[in-house]
Structure 1
Amino acid sequence: MTEPTKPTLLSELLLAAGFLTRLPLPAAAWREGGLAASMRLFPLVGAGIGLGGGLVFLAAEALLPPLPAALLAVLATVLLTGALHEDGLADTADGLGARGGRDTRLEVMRDSRTGAYGVLALLFSVGLRVAALAAAPSGLAGLGALVAAAALSRAMVPAAMQVMAPARADGLGAGAGVPHAGVAAQAAVLGVLLAIAGLGLAAPAAVLAALVLAGGVVMLARRALGGFTGDVLGAVQQAAEIGVLLAVAGAWA
């Protein structure tokens, strides 16, 4: 019997990037629990997504006013990810806003249609990120903020999975596996280091803001849904990214 191939750093990176982005990457070999293990590299993939948006902001800021430049940069990150996290945020908002018990809320989240709560959540998510980024004093500052926000917010995903149980037996935790504490710790350290690289002295405030907003989503999900789903993790990422960018905008001001 052939022994399973030991995963390499490159294979884990390809698996993480293949899950988080729509980039045409070589397919990584799938293995049981492979995605959970690759979550330690989520912040690195996030930094790449932020870099893509940041380069768009850097170019657009030289030609356009800050607001449209920021809008184009956020649009670039959405295109890179296929709106993966935005979709989760919208579904989570609809579920949390639904009347009824846990089962009803989870059923609403499975519905592919987006309700009023989901639409409003998307409007505020995009609006707050664009407004915060538009306050950047320079294109380079905006680039650093996007890299930090995208990296740190994705470091929150395995951390959230440590403090919540899967809400469904057939959800993300069952299909992808739940990362162990070491994976979450590695992701957290990598996310913080990338935030420091992108933000410098503003990084502590950004980390705190990300923890507060992501923690708020975790508390709501535990109370209303009994744990996490893939949609909830998308909402955690969005909340953390908003927190980072708002904190940085405050520092710029």
Structure 2
Amino acid sequence: MWVTFNRPHRSNALTPGMISKLKALLEAHRSDPSVRVLVLTGKGKYFSSGMDLSAANQADMQQRVGTGTAGSDATLLWESLRTFPKPIIARINGPAMGGGWGLLFTTDIRLAVRSAEFSFSEVKRGIVPAIISAYVVPQLGPFHAKQLFLTGEKISAEKAQEIGFLSGVVDTEEELDRETLRYVRVVLGNGPGAMSHVKSAVQFVSTHAHPENLRYVQELFDAAVVTSPEALYGMACFMQKAQPDWTQFLREQAKL
């Protein structure tokens, strides 16, 4: 089964509706014997630029924070992906930013074109990469995670492979298709029950996504990601295509 993020005009930014639909799709096919492997990709130049920070989606997100469902919606999707019993192959056709990159840490095999770039850009907008930290830190380690979270800098596909994030890097989309299909054929040749147990075993022995960790990052998401003055200021600057002046922001906050 192939799933394609299809908002190329918005760099495949994720909306609450997309999150709900993908979660429902995963649950519908979790026990479907006709689905043996899941391929995630994006249409156009981007894999995904992360959460949609447009004004409309900010309002929707703030409403969800008010009802306590914003963090839980994202957490449930990430957990649905992480615990999906079939292999998930990421066909990374272009840049993956913020939550778009974080989502990829729930996949099992990751292939990217050489032109793809990756960044956790949340801090540049005054946002905390809270929920995704539960998945990023165990895989990259605290050192790489903090460097990427704190700087928000982009890294190349080659660097992403160097730090252990990518399974392979290819030059063109044609090669990406060939390599993706090669992996599809490989996993289709394996026992589906055995692969499901392999995923469960790895998830069990790994230290990430323990319930107490998920509760903490979900609460942090609700408290700091959308409703804080810093996040609101950072997102407003983003919408205006302006560089945030954090020094001035802190001065203004000190007056309150």
TM-score when normalising by structure 1 = 0.30
- Using CA pairs below 8 Å that are at least 6 residues apart, which structure has the higher relative contact order? 1
More helix, by proportion: 1
More strand, by proportion: 2
TM-score when normalising by structure 2 = 0.29
